[in-house]
Structure 1
């Protein structure tokens, strides 16, 4: 007896292309201005100093510097980019030179 395969099976078997999401640059890695640090859906990572966020929640560097992943709370992580003289390449894991702390954490545009 001849058999005919179900009509639906020839229409199946496709999937969408992967979106290549995730962390693109690691903590302590040097980046140039405009470099994409993270591609994400939603805000898994929050925006810190010297980074911008695109309409698709992509986080990118605004200055040449070193990527720093900073914990905000148990669930929140913030990404910042600091100049290499403030945050050494290779990542000092939270060690920022005291002389620069006031400059880093001051509000943008605040005069000294």
Structure 2
């Protein structure tokens, strides 16, 4: 006979699924029109030329081209050239 009685599962052992945020297309890589460049919460990176902001703050490429990251007045931007 077992010395340890049956135990129930730990109550605080749950975790949420990851949201897969972050940069999807890095600098000097090719972006496709409409494709996701960055998934983010809030505007950590602002849209520059040929980039638009989705309603969940995701940055998408407007046109096909090369992704470039830069800073202007202390803010981070991404553009497609």
Q: TM-score range by the shorter chain?
A: 0.7 to 0.9
Aligned-residue Cα RMSD (Å) equals 1.8
1: CA distance between counterparts of 2:6 and 2:22? 44
Q: May I ask how many residue pairs the two structures share in their alignment?
A: 78
Counterpart of 2:49 in 1: which secondary structure?
coil
Deviation track 1:3-43 (CA, whole Å, cap 9, x = no partner) reads 786x7x63221100011111111111111101100000000
Moved over 2 A (4+): 2-5, 9-12
Structure number with higher strand proportion = 2
The TM-score, its normalising length taken from structure 1, stands at 0.62
Map residues 1-112 of structure 1 onto 2, 5 A cutoff: 10-74=10-74, 76-82=75-81
The TM-score, its normalising length taken from structure 2, stands at 0.84
Structure 2 residue ranges without an equivalent (≥5): none
Deviation track 1:28-76 (CA, whole Å, cap 9, x = no partner) reads 11111011000000000001111111111000101001101111133x1
Structure 1 residue ranges without an equivalent (≥5): 83-112
Structure with more contact order per residue of length (Cα contacts < 8 Å, sep ≥ 6): 2
Structure number with higher helix proportion = 1
